[in-house]
Amino acid sequence: MALRTLTKKGNPILEKKCKDVKEYNESLWTLLDDMRETMTKNNGCGLAAPQVGIIKNIVVIDVNNMQLELINPKITYQSKETEVDVEGCLSVDGISGYVERPRVVTVKANDRYGNEFTITGEGYLARALCHEYDHLQGILFTQKMIKPYKPDKEK
């Protein structure tokens, strides 16, 4: 495993729509392992491939002691009920803000071997799934931010 360099806001890679993965092989597995290590070392809970300069539909998430690898994810359900909470991003330094997201989402994806699975997330997991999926569409949370989070003024 190896740490990958994080792509930062302003890099046009973060604005591109990603392409589907077609080959499930050792190269993909290495990328997934590297992404997980990079996410963990940077104290993240999710990381999408464009955040390490790869324009592919690949996401890793670590939320509530649940480690997920999603290849070619598609959101198949979003609840009408929403929640507003604070988000940040490893690709956006020094900014966090309030974003409205569905309270429940269902995602269909493939695992590292190409096996299809479906996962439904609520609350924080739903937020992470949506945030990382947005990365694959070339969307940063700052584009959906209702207002910035300023911890010293929130008290």
**Catalytic positions:** 132
CA distances for 134 relative to 1, 14, 51, 115, 124, angstroms: 26, 10, 12, 22, 15
C-alpha 47/C-alpha 137 separation (Å) is 14
DSSP code string of 46-105: EEEGGGGT--BSEEEEEETTEEEEEEEEEEEEE-S-EEEEEEEETTEEEEEEEEEEESEE
E strand or H helix at 123: none
